[in-house]
Amino acid sequence: MIKQQHWTAVVAELHQANQPYVLITVLQVRGSAPREAGTKMVVSTQHSWGSIGGGNLEFQALQQAHELLQLGQNQQRMQELLLSTDLQQCCGGAVTILLESFVECDQTLWLFGAGHVAQALVTILSELSVRVHWVDSREELFPASVPSTVTLHTESTLGVLDQIQAQHDIMVLTHDHQLDFEVIEQLLTQSRGRFLGLIGSETKARRFRQRLAQAGFEQAKIERLVCPVGLKEVTGKRPMEVAVSMAGQLISLWNS
């Protein structure tokens, strides 16, 4: 079933839904071919969006896309096809296509803040089966490119909280203690997420718990807040050291 929707919107929706898909791109065209270089289509387990020209070319590409989906791994496959010889199409040219598979992730993490520790943490998590929703209104802080498993959110930080589901995990690492508190306060009020971690010292943790108690939160809700976050046995203050500590705690949670 070919659905008419721009591929960028489709990819965004599939990322949000944590659904596996394959992005097919016409990389190069030599001679006569159905579509020009740069043409894309998206294939999920049940649907496809767009077209790279129809006929046997598209049929073969769809078959390969479904093979990649069955393998269940993030990978790339590039192939050059002669339209007349390989595909028995009347066009006499050749087409090079790239198939990129993006698989469903086992876990979902919401990461608030795009500072040095968060960037180091994303680097580590890119090697794991985890979907990361990375939130910071300061768009200029995000790297020029991010892993395919990362979705950037540059809108209002508090405005994304209603997207967090009960089984999602959360790390709060913003640049502003007051913003940290507002995020924590809203998450506890709305009972969002499963694991709620906050970067900071023992002093920060104590102050936040006092403020939450003064705001009327019951002790059971206050105890949901994990601060300082990270494995205590992993010491060090460098961003990567802190990120390793946090990643270790998340991995332990996901494997428990």
Q: How far is C-alpha 55 from the geometric centre of its chain's CA atoms? A: 33
pLDDT band at 61 (very low <50, low <70, confident <90, very high): confident
Q: Give CA–CA dist 205/190, Å, rounded.
A: 20
pLDDT band at 74 (very low <50, low <70, confident <90, very high): confident
Lowest mean pLDDT segment, chosen from 61-75, 154-168, 191-205: 61-75
If we measure between CA atoms, which residue out of 203, 230, 201 comes closest to residue 120? 230
Q: In whole numbers, what is the pLDDT of the chain averaged over residues?
A: 89
Question: Which range is most confident: 21-35, 42-56, 163-177?
Answer: 163-177
Give the number of other CB atoms < 10 A from CB of residue 199.
22
Q: Give CA–CA dist 176/211, Å, rounded.
A: 16
Region(s) of the chain under CATH 3.40.50.720: 107-254
Return the structure tokens found at 248: 């270790």
Say which residue, 23 or 127, is predicted with more confidence. Answer: 23
Return the structure tokens found at 247: 């990643």
- Name beta bridge partners: 41: 24, 50
The secondary element (H helix, E strand) that includes residue 246 is helix 239-254
pLDDT value of position 85? 58
pTM of this prediction?
0.68
Q: Give CA–CA dist 32/82, Å, rounded.
A: 10
- Evaluate if residue 213 carries a pLDDT over 70: yes
If we measure between CA atoms, which residue out of 53, 60, 61 comes closest to residue 90? 53
pLDDT value of position 90? 52
Phi and psi (nearest 5°) for 19? -105, 140
In percent, how much of the chain has pLDDT > 90?
A: 60
Instruction: Give the CATH superfamily of 107-254.
Output: NAD(P)-binding Rossmann-like Domain (3.40.50.720)
pLDDT value of position 29? 85
235-249: average pLDDT: 95
Return the structure tokens found at 74: 């993030």
Gyration radius from the chain CA atoms: 22
105-125: average pLDDT: 94
Lowest mean pLDDT segment, chosen from 30-39, 80-89, 202-211, 228-237: 80-89
pLDDT value of position 84? 57
Q: Give CA–CA dist 128/131, Å, rounded.
A: 9
pLDDT band at 173 (very low <50, low <70, confident <90, very high): very high
Return the structure tokens found at 46: 């049940």
Q: Give CA–CA dist 238/140, Å, rounded.
A: 22
Q: What is the pLDDT of residues 77-95, one digit of tens each?
A: 998 877 655 555 555 678 8
Supply the DSSP symbol for 37: T
